[in-house]
Structure 1
Amino acid sequence: MRTSIGRSRSILARAAMAAAALVSVAGLTAALPATAHAAGAVQAANSCWSGPNVTNWQGITFRSRTCPTWTGVNVYEATGQNAQGKYVYTGYLNAGNNWVVCQTRGDRNPSLGGGTNDIWLYTQGDTTKSLPARKAWGWIPATAVSYGANNAAVPGVPWCSSYPGYLP
């Protein structure tokens, strides 16, 4: 699970991004330094930016991307239903700037805020719900990502197929 130090840094990063977003939405971007404009434009255009190296519950280390999620969301064990026709939740991911490893297609996402998609992102939740050995690792729906578009991949996140020999 994410450490309290990582969580504190994440909270500070979330506060900074929220402040920048509010300033930008209010049309006050001229008051920001030029470097802030450039960084914000790149992040909005790509949706996600470089994140930390992370190690999953199986001991595999990945480079990640940081993506803003606009809502808290369940972390799913898989991108589809199990043999009993149910979804299993491994954890819960709080809203904010959260890292993800990759994206893949699966079942239709739950409709969050009216969004539709079949893209899922591999990550680790902030809290564990079930399957404690997985340490809250699993999949979140793209409909939880702030800059994702309906029925489209999340810009700036690699496809899971780009990891030869391993598809989470």
Structure 2
Amino acid sequence: MGFTGDLWCELTPGSVRIQSRSTSPVIGIMRFSPHWFVCWKEGSDYLGNNIWYYTQGDQIVTSPKVKAWGYLPADMVEAPQHPFPGLTKCSWS
């Protein structure tokens, strides 16, 4: 899987989910900030926003083969707007 760009910014530590919805299983944990995000997609509403960012968590919780890759809701990403301008929409959205 290749990515054309990324976003590096501050975030609120929390759960990385396997899908872009709040009921999806937690696959990883974000512990450190700043962090990077490679794309975004629309998902379930989370605190008034339906944008989710794809990233790799700092700690694997389940499914070691996935290596903590998953989605973090936009509310946890400190960006001036969501989706962040110039960051690519995930091609599998």
Q: TM-score, normalised by structure 1?
A: 0.49
The corresponding residue for 2:29 is 92
1:80 matches 2:21 = yes
Shift of 1:69: 2.8
Shift of 1:63: 3.8
The corresponding residue for 2:76 is 144
The corresponding residue for 2:88 is 158
Q: TM-score, normalised by structure 2?
A: 0.83
| d(CA) in 2 for partners of 1:123, 1:133 | 15
| d(CA) in 1 for partners of 2:74, 2:37 | 11
Structure 1: give runs of 5+ residues left out of the alignment: 1-59, 162-166
Q: How many residues align?
A: 93
The alignment's C-alpha RMSD in Å is: 2.0
| d(CA) in 1 for partners of 2:39, 2:10 | 15
Per-residue CA deviations over 1:38-67 (Å, capped at 9, x if unaligned) read xxxxxxxxxxxxxxxxxxxxxx23244133
Contact 1:142–1:154 (Cα < 8 Å) also in 2? no
Letter in 1 for 2:60: T
Contact 1:90–1:138 (Cα < 8 Å) also in 2? yes
Looking at secondary structure, tell me which structure has more helix per residue: 1
Written as runs of structure 1 = structure 2, the 5 A alignment for 1:51-66 is: 60-66=1-7
Structure 2: give runs of 5+ residues left out of the alignment: none
**2:61 is matched with which residue: 125, 129, 149?**
129
**2:42 is matched with which residue: 97, 105, 109?**
105
Looking at secondary structure, tell me which structure has more strand per residue: 2
Q: After the TM superposition, which parts of structure 1 deviate over 3 Å for at least 4 consecutive aligned residues?
A: none
Shift of 1:160: 1.3
Q: Residues 148 and 89 from structure 1, CA distance in 2 versus in 1: closer, same or farther, beyond 3 angstroms?
A: farther
Taking only the aligned residue pairs, the percentage that are identical comes to 30
Of structures 1 and 2, the one with the larger relative CO (CA 8 A, separation 6+) is 2
Contact 2:40–2:90 (Cα < 8 Å) also in 1? yes
The corresponding residue for 2:50 is 118
